[in-house]
C-alpha cells in the first residue's frame, strides 16, 4: 500500500510520488465514508426485491439512499430513479419523454438544447432527429454561458423539451436555469438539466427552480462510478422506459437495484449536503492561490471564464501559442489535468464545447481545465502552478533555442 502523507492544515490525502490530481471534472476521488458504506452494504447478500428479512434490509438501504439524494436537490423520494449514471439518466429523459409524448398524442416535436451539452445529451438528441423530431442547438457566448436571446427565439409552442446543463464539464460555467425555466414555461415546454457537475457542489432546489427533469452522477460528487439518478417531477410527463425487464422503480428503470453502490451514492449525497459550504470555500481558496501563483510566474495564460460565474475550485485556461495536449503530456508525471478534446480515428478533435462557444480550432486546442476538489491542498495549488509555469516556459523556449 502506498504511504499516505496527511497534512491536516493543507487537507492533502494524496499518496506520495503520485501526480497531483486536478482532473476532478472527469471524476472525483471516492470519499472514505462512501467507500465504507459500499463495503458495509456489500456484506449484505440480498436483493432489495426479495420478500424476506434480508431483502427488507436491502430495501431499507435503497430507500434511505433515495431519501438522501432527494433531500440534496429538494425533491420527494418518489421522484428519484436510480440509473447507472448521468449518461443513462440523460438518455432515459430525452428518449423516454419523447416516446411518452408520441404515445400520449402530444403534438410537439421540437427539442431545444445548448451547443455545449455533454455528448450523452447530444447523441440521443440526434437519435430523436432521426425519428422525426426537430433539434435546435443554441450557441454559447465565449464566457461559457448560453445565449439566452437565441434560446428565447428557439423555444415556441412546438417545443416539447428544453435541455440545458447546470454547469459545464469543461469550463465550470454555471447556466441560468431559472431564466431558462421561465422561458420554457411560457409555452408549456418541459425543462431538463444535466446537473452531473452541479449537484453536490452548489445548492439546488428543483421545486424552487420549477425544473421537470434532472440528471445526477455519483462519481462527480465523491461517490462511486456506475451509479447516478434521474429526478422526474411528479407533475411532469413520465418517461417511457428505454430498457425492459422487471417492474423495479415503477417500471421506468427495470433491473435489480445495485444496493452497495446505491448506498454509496446516498452517503455521497448526504456528505455533500453537510459540507457544501466548506467544500466551496476550500475550492475557491485553492483556485485563487493557484491563479495568484501562476500570475506571479509570468506564465502568459488567460482565464476563459473570467467574466462568468463558475463552480467553486474550477478554472479554464488558455495557454497562448501552446497546444494544451502537449502541455498535459509534459506534466503528466507530476500532475493530472485534461482538455475536453476527444480522440477519433487517431486525430485529436477540438472540444465541441469550446467550438460551441465560438473559439476556432487553433484556440480551442490551447485550452485546458483544472478543478480543485475537497481533497486537494494548498500545497497542491502552489506546486501545480509552479509545475505548469515551468512546463510552459520549456515548451515556449526548448533547450538550445535562444529566447527572443
- Whether 343 is catalytic is yes
Q: Please tell me the distance from the alpha carbon of residue 146 to that of residue 331, in angstroms, as a whole number.
A: 32
Q: Please tell me the distance from the alpha carbon of residue 205 to that of residue 26, in angstroms, as a whole number.
A: 24
What's the first-to-final CA gap in the chain, in angstroms?
48
What kind and span of H or E run contains 120?
Answer: helix 119-130
CA triplet 76, 283, 373: central angle to 5 degrees? Answer: 75
Q: Please tell me the distance from the alpha carbon of residue 49 to that of residue 59, in angstroms, as a whole number.
A: 7
Record the cell numbers describing residue 287, joined without a space.
483556485
Q: Please tell me the distance from the alpha carbon of residue 324 to that of residue 316, in angstroms, as a whole number.
A: 11
Query: In residues, how long is the chain?
Result: 404
- Active-site residue identified among 244, 343, 346, 402: 343
Q: Do 243 and 234 touch, CB atoms closer than 8 A?
A: no
The residues pairing with 214 across neighbouring beta strands, listed in sequence order, are 193, 231
- Which residues are tagged catalytic? 343
Amino acid at each position: 500500500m502506498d504511504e499516505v502523507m496527511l497534512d491536516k492544515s493543507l487537507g492533502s490525502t494524496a499518496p506520495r510520488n503520485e501526480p497531483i490530481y486536478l482532473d476532478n471534472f472527469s471524476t472525483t476521488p471516492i470519499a472514505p465514508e462512501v467507500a465504507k458504506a459500499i463495503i458495509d452494504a456489500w456484506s449484505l447478500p440480498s436483493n432489495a426485491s426479495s420478500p424476506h428479512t434480508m431483502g427488507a434490509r436491502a430495501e431499507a438501504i435503497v430507500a434511505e439512499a433515495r431519501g438522501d439524494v432527494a433531500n440534496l436537490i429538494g425533491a420527494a423520494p418518489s421522484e428519484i430513479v436510480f440509473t447507472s449514471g448521468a449518461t443513462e439518466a440523460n438518455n432515459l429523459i430525452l428518449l423516454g419523454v419523447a416516446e411518452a409524448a408520441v404515445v400520449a398524442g402530444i403534438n410537439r416535436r421540437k427539442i431545444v438544447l445548448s451547443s455545449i451539452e455533454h455528448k450523452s445529451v447530444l447523441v440521443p438528441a440526434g437519435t430523436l432527429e432521426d425519428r422525426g423530431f426537430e433539434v435546435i442547438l443554441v450557441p454559447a457566448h465565449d464566457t461559457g454561458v448560453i445565449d439566452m436571446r437565441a434560446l428565447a427565439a428557439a423555444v415556441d409552442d412546438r417545443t416539447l423539451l428544453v435541455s440545458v446543463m447546470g454547469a459545464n464539464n469543461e469550463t465550470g460555467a454555471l447556466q441560468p436555469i431559472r431564466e431558462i425555466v421561465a422561458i420554457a414555461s411560457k409555452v408549456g415546454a418541459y425543462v431538463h438539466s444535466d446537473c452531473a457537475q452541479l449537484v453536490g457542489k452548489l445548492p439546488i432546489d428543483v421545486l424552487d427552480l420549477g425544473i421537470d427533469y434532472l440528471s445526477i452522477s455519483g462519481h462527480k460528487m465523491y461517490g462511486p462510478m456506475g451509479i447516478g439518478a434521474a429526478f422526474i417531477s411528479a407533475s411532469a410527463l413520465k418517461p417511457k422506459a428505454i430498457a425492459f425487464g422487471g417492474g423495479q422503480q415503477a417500471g421506468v428503470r427495470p433491473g435489480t437495484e445495485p444496493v452497495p453502490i446505491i448506498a454509496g451514492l446516498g452517503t455521497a449525497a448526504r456528505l455533500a449536503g453537510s459540507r457544501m459550504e466548506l467544500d466551496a470555500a476550500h475550492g475557491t481558496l485553492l483556485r485563487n492561490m493557484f491563479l495568484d501563483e501562476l500570475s506571479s510566474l509570468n506564465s502568459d495564460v488567460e482565464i476563459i471564464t473570467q467574466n462568468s460565474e463558475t463552480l467553486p475550485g474550477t478554472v479554464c485556461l488558455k495557454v497562448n501559442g501552446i497546444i494544451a495536449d502537449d502541455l498535459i503530456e509534459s506534466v503528466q508525471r507530476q500532475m493530472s489535468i485534461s482538455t475536453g478534446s476527444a480522440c477519433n480515428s487517431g486525430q485529436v478533435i477540438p472540444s465541441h464545447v469550446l467550438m460551441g462557444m465560438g473559439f476556432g480550432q487553433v484556440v480551442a486546442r490551447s485550452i485546458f481545465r483544472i478543478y480543485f476538489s475537497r481533497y486537494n491542498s494548498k500545497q497542491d495549488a502552489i506546486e501545480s502552478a509552479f509545475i505548469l509555469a515551468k512546463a510552459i516556459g520549456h515548451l515556449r523556449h526548448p533547450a538550445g533555442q535562444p529566447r527572443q
